[in-house]
Amino acid sequence: MANDLFKMPETAVSTDEFIKGLWRENPVFVQVLGMCPVLAVTNSGINAIAMGLATTFVLVMSNILVSSLRKVIPKQVRIATYILIIATFVTVVEYLIQAISLDLHKALGAFISLIVVNCVILGRAEAFASKNTLANSFLDGLGMGLGFTFALLCLGVVREILGSGTIFGIGLFPDGFQSWVVMILPGGGFFTMGAWLLFFNWLKERNKKREAALSESGTGVK
């Protein structure tokens, strides 16, 4: 994040802008942004995917528009303008979901409209799209959106398996499953989020240690 703020705008298209959102700067597991939908709508895999894709769509489109208008928008009213742009695409996506599946629209409820205030989207508009070229902003939005979807899916799958014994609506346990009611409730969202953060931090620490060990042994050979 801090790097993005002070970096000179790059003109070359870089695939790194896409990849960083998936893992290294994952909006949920690393930046811990946009917690409201992450905890609220991940009680099943389908909900998680729908929410993730809706957010990705808004993120990509708003990044594109903000980036292409970045020289026109006056600095004093930029936040209001970004919100306006984001709200436009959220309205589009809300009608889209309503047209595709009314059940899904009911399950996600107010959280579709609340994508407007998802800080991942405003954060990317302010920190990245307003300073970078259109192509890079598109890649950044796509990467961040897919990273967000991945994180939501991680939570959604675990909570669905433990909370209702199904995965994407398909029953896993034919002879009766004792569902953990807490996992479908908001409390389960916090538990699962904590467990995943623990896991990813442990993974990162381990990789760091390995890299350190590798570079040490490398210098030893020289």
Partner 1 sequence: MKAAEVKLLLTSSPFLKQEDDMPTIMRQVIYSLVPVSLAAIYYFGLGALLLILVCVGGALGTEWVFSRGKRGRRLSIADGSAILTGLLLALVLPPAIPLWMALLGAVAAIGIGKMVFGGVGSNIFNPALVGRAFLQAAFPVALTTWVPQGGWQSLARLYPTQFGMPFAKTTVSAVTTATPLSQMKFAGQTTDTLQLLLGNTGGSLGETCALIILLGGIYLAWRNYLNWRVPVAVFASVAVFAGILHWVDPLKYAPPMFHLFSGGLMLGAIYMATDPVTSPVTQRGCWIFGIGIGVLVMVIRTYGGLPEGVMYAILLMNAVSPLINRVTQARIYGESRKKDKG
**Does residue number 217 form part of the binding site for partner 1 (CB under 8 A)?**
no
First to last CA, the chain: 36
Site string for partner 1, 185-204 (x = CB under 8 A): x-x---x--x----------
Q: How far is the CB of 198 from partner 1 (least distance, A)?
A: 8
**Does residue number 74 form part of the binding site for partner 1 (CB under 8 A)?**
no
Retrieve residue 32's tokens: 């811990």
Query: Binding residue for partner 1 (CB under 8 A) from 181, 203, 212, 213?
Result: 181
Where do we find the tokens 């896993």? Answer: 172
CA nearest neighbour of 42 among 183, 139, 172:
183
**Does residue number 170 form part of the binding site for partner 1 (CB under 8 A)?**
no
CA nearest neighbour of 143 among 1, 19, 54:
19
What is the per-residue DSSP string for 92-122? HHHHHHHHH-HHHHHHHGGGTGGGGG-HHHH
**Does residue number 171 form part of the binding site for partner 1 (CB under 8 A)?**
no
Query: Binding residue for partner 1 (CB under 8 A) from 177, 196, 200, 204?
Result: 177
The CA distance from 70 to 57, in Å, is 20
Query: Binding residue for partner 1 (CB under 8 A) from 2, 72, 176, 222?
Result: 176
State the sign of the Cα–Cα–Cα–Cα dihedral 34, 32, 125, 49: negative
Q: How far is the CB of 151 from partner 1 (least distance, A)?
A: 20
Is the CB of 104 or the CB of 165 nearer to partner 1? 165
Binding site for partner 1 (CB under 8 A): 165, 173, 175-178, 180-183, 185, 187, 191, 194
